[in-house]
Chain A
């Protein structure tokens, strides 16, 4: 099997995640789409690591996971805070920059 298939899959998942960020309104679902994008990138990294025959890709993927975890923590905390004050989790409500 062509190893590029993993890369194609990664691209497709990335695209789906990117489109999801633009289309969904719920802040948490947007966040989940971002996580999907990160995971797709991780898949690509692991595939490249296999192709290259060293562990560099896996190390990068590892760090990506850690950072993604931190990001999720802080991001969800922020969403909770915003939800507490606004009682709504829709990103369309934060439109104060409207000219």
Chain B
């Protein structure tokens, strides 16, 4: 295993800059954002350098480690603080550092009017450091540190404008939902330690062959729970829509390209667990399938452009999770889709931010309309992302999404048909609502008020969008050429030894089918939204009402979890007051009452004292007699 001394800088530099910006306070206001951007650019350079060095190695020896220090050495648990950069991690590192640098540049202009811009960049850098620690950690425990860190950073960033109570509540909701997932990760680590005696990836990989199926299923289920929390999958997906309360760069970074993909990373990294346990794999595909449909359905009814894009993220990650459950070959396609999705979704979010910037922070799409003429660059980059997400060839999404649908169909039997059908349906609905977004925002008659004067965004905002649009266009083709990514990831996910079963239908059929449903969905949307009213219609079907309410997920959470929890705490508070405090109070009053009663014995009369003496004597003698007998 090669070692490198550069890996630590990937984490240390952003962490240092974040601390610096937070500690220096107002002094750093003038130059803080520049420093932050430069630091993140330097991490991208380090990542690219490491990538170059990796390319020069053979497949098995591409991984690089760096041991920082011995961290935990307690009994039989030994964990080192070490970093591991292998083929899987480098994909994430490049995606993270690349996209985040673009978003930093974008934020310089987007947040230029905000007096807390420096703090924003500090939190962004903190996020970068933690996300990189997540993907570079070489054991579950190291990953966990990064996991928690990104949860914290997302809380800070979602609630950045926390003077608004709604936003503060949204960040809290995100944190709590993440926490539920974190419980799953903790339990998985505990089970790993109990089963294998180690929590490093290598150790668990080595032990996974001999472990009992119950343990493997347990670890797999817990890891899936963690992934659900972080990646906003069913049933922990309710926080993603509300998390749009944060500034748009945050949504682009965290909730499109990076943090929500941490779940996919976790499952891919733990491929040895999931490959060994078919129960866990089944759970994964079920969760993925449910979520991709769930997100798509919700997305059709959202009038808030960011919430629509959030629902879309939820759905696309559902695709990725579905792919990871489909066997060794699925991991590579999940990562492929993750990378392409990172480009086009981030691009679309930045485009949405640009639209909001031009429309005075209006988010309701019903107040948009016909913006293509006034914001051409935004419209074009957004449009390229739109085509990518639809899966129109030759854009990025075509390569990744179609592959996932194909692998789903090839999963075999009824399962394959169901999963493939769900994926196709998801693609159709995706086409529908994304077209809806496009049409409502950029095309058609203008519905905005006279006061707003939409204008194109400054160069610092449009440049990242253009660069990401390049990614939306080309990344799919480049990564799939010659199955480049699949081969690249083979040593990590062991996909080279899997023999391909007979595919259900040829790849071309799948692609045509997918394209067909996409065209149908898009056409449906264009027809329906030729004219759009500028207030949301009241008389809508039950389905629409349900979709507007996130398919009642929030109400369900409230009734199932929050209400019993509140009852429990109220009951505990009452019990504490009545039983415990009451017991203490009772002791006091009891003592007082008995003292009062006993005080009356001292009546001052000699004869009663004499009586007590005699009675005591009699009792003592009886006691001695009985005990002695």
Contacts and interface: CB of A to CB of B under 8 A. Distances in A.
Q: Do A and B come from one complex?
A: yes
Interface of A: 18, 21-23, 25, 91-92, 94-99
B599 A99 contact: yes
A99 B598 CA distance: 10
Interface in B78-103: none
A96 B607 contact: no
B603 A98 contact: yes
B605 interface: yes
B607 A99 contact: no
Given A22-B611, A25-B607, A91-B607, 5 more contacts: A21-B607, A21-B610, A95-B604, A97-B602, A99-B604
A78 B611 CA distance: 22
B512 interface: no
B597 interface: no
B364 to A, nearest CB: 81
B614 interface: yes
Contacts of A97: 602, 604
Interface residues of B, number: 10
B610 A98 contact: no
Contacts of B607: 21-23, 25, 91-92
B606 interface: yes
A71 B322 CA distance: 107
B604 A98 contact: yes
Interface in B168-206: none
A95 B610 contact: no
Contacts of A94: 604, 606
Nearest to A19: B614
A96 B604 contact: yes
A95 B602 contact: no
A92 B605 CA distance: 6
Nearest to B607: A22
Contact of B610 (A22, A92, A96, A99): A22
Contacts of B611: 22
A99 B614 contact: no
Interface in B574-625: 599, 602-607, 610-611, 614
Contacts of B610: 21-22
Contacts of A23: 607
Nearest to A94: B606
A30 to B, nearest CB: 8
Nearest to A27: B606
A91 B606 contact: yes
Contacts of B602: 97-99
A22 B614 contact: yes
Contacts of A18: 614
10 contacts: A18-B614, A22-B607, A22-B611, A25-B607, A97-B602, A98-B603, A98-B604, A99-B599, A99-B602, A99-B604
A56 B603 CA distance: 43
Interface in B337-392: none
Contacts of A22: 607, 610-611, 614
> Which of A21, A23, A25, A96 has its CB near the most chain B CB atoms (within 10 A)?
A21
Contacts of B604: 94-99
A23 B611 CA distance: 9
A91 B607 CA distance: 8
A94 B606 CA distance: 8
A91 B605 CA distance: 8
Contacts of B599: 99
A27 to B, nearest CB: 9
Nearest to B602: A99
A21 B610 CA distance: 8
B606 to A, nearest CB: 5
Nearest to A30: B607
A44 to B, nearest CB: 16
A92 B551 CA distance: 88
A13 to B, nearest CB: 16
> Which of B599, B602, B604 has its CB near the most chain A CB atoms (within 10 A)?
B604
A98 B603 CA distance: 5
B613 to A, nearest CB: 9
Nearest to B603: A98
> Which of A18, A21, A22 has its CB near the most chain B CB atoms (within 10 A)?
A22
A63 B611 CA distance: 28
Nearest to B614: A18
B611 to A, nearest CB: 5
B605 A95 contact: yes
Nearest to B618: A18
> Which of B602, B605, B606, B607 has its CB near the most chain A CB atoms (within 10 A)?
B606
Contacts of B605: 91-92, 95, 98
Contacts of A91: 605-607
Nearest to B611: A22
B400 to A, nearest CB: 92
Nearest to B598: A99
Contacts of B606: 91-92, 94
A92 B603 CA distance: 10
A95 to B, nearest CB: 3
A77 to B, nearest CB: 18
B614 A95 contact: no
A97 B607 CA distance: 12
Contacts of A98: 602-605
Contacts of A99: 599, 602, 604
Nearest to A25: B607
A18 B611 CA distance: 9
B109 to A, nearest CB: 86
Contacts of B614: 18, 22
B99 to A, nearest CB: 85
A22 B610 CA distance: 6
A21 B606 CA distance: 10
A72 B605 CA distance: 22
> Which of B607, B611, B614 has its CB near the most chain A CB atoms (within 10 A)?
B607
Nearest to A95: B604
Contacts of A95: 603-605
A1 to B, nearest CB: 28
A55 B284 CA distance: 106
A98 B148 CA distance: 71
